[in-house]
């Protein structure tokens, strides 16, 4: 089974802090994703990565950056956390195999910025 793990289930940070959310997958997947989930808005894509050191902006990249130094690890960085970044953050991965589109998700990190 694919396993996607996230470094924290719950995180509380202060406004202005730099925040790192870590995601690791163990299935040698090429593609990795960061989403935020908010009630009534569903999942919105922040950033994704096709390969090591590659990154692409999703639908809502403002205020976020990412890092992918190793294939199995994809980090989301909040350079200066703000209260409107309080949300559930979900990491996902997907194989690069042709015609395979389903993504596998981690358990999520619920971030509260005070």
x/- letters, 38..77, toward another protein (CB under 8 A) = --xxxx-x--x-------x-x-------------------
> Which residues, including other chains, have CB under 8 Å from residue 42's CB and lie 6 or more apart?
none
- CA 28, 18, 16, 114 torsion-angle sign: positive
Answer for which of 80, 107, 112, 114 binds another protein (CB under 8 A) is 107
Tokens of 55: 């990154």
Span near another protein by CB under 8 A; candidates 14-22, 33-41, 67-75, 76-84: 33-41
Instruction: Please choose, from the candidates 32, 38, 30, the residue with its C-alpha nearest in 3D space to the C-alpha of residue 5.
Output: 32
Answer for which of 4, 32, 46, 78 binds another protein (CB under 8 A) is 4
End-to-end CA separation in angstroms for the chain: 37
Span near another protein by CB under 8 A; candidates 12-20, 60-68, 69-77, 94-102: 94-102
How many residues of this chain bind another protein (CB under 8 A)? 23
Long-range contacts of 65-69 (CB under 8 A, 24+ apart): 66/34, 68/32
Tell me which residues touch another protein (CB under 8 A).
4, 9, 33, 35, 40-43, 45, 48, 56, 58, 90, 92, 99, 101-108
């Amino acid at each position: 089974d694919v396993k996607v793990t996230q470094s924290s289930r719950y995180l509380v940070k202060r406004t202005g802090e730099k925040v790192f959310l870590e995601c690791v997958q163990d299935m040698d997947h090429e593609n990795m994703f960061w989403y935020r989930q908010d009630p009534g808005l569903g999942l919105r894509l922040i950033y994704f990565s096709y390969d090591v050191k590659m990154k692409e902006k999703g639908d809502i990249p403002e205020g976020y950056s990412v890092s992918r130094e190793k294939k199995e690890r994809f980090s989301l960085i909040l350079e200066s956390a703000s209260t409107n970044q309080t949300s559930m953050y979900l990491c996902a991965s997907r194989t690069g195999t042709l015609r395979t589109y389903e993504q596998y998700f981690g358990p999520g990190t619920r971030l509260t910025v005070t």
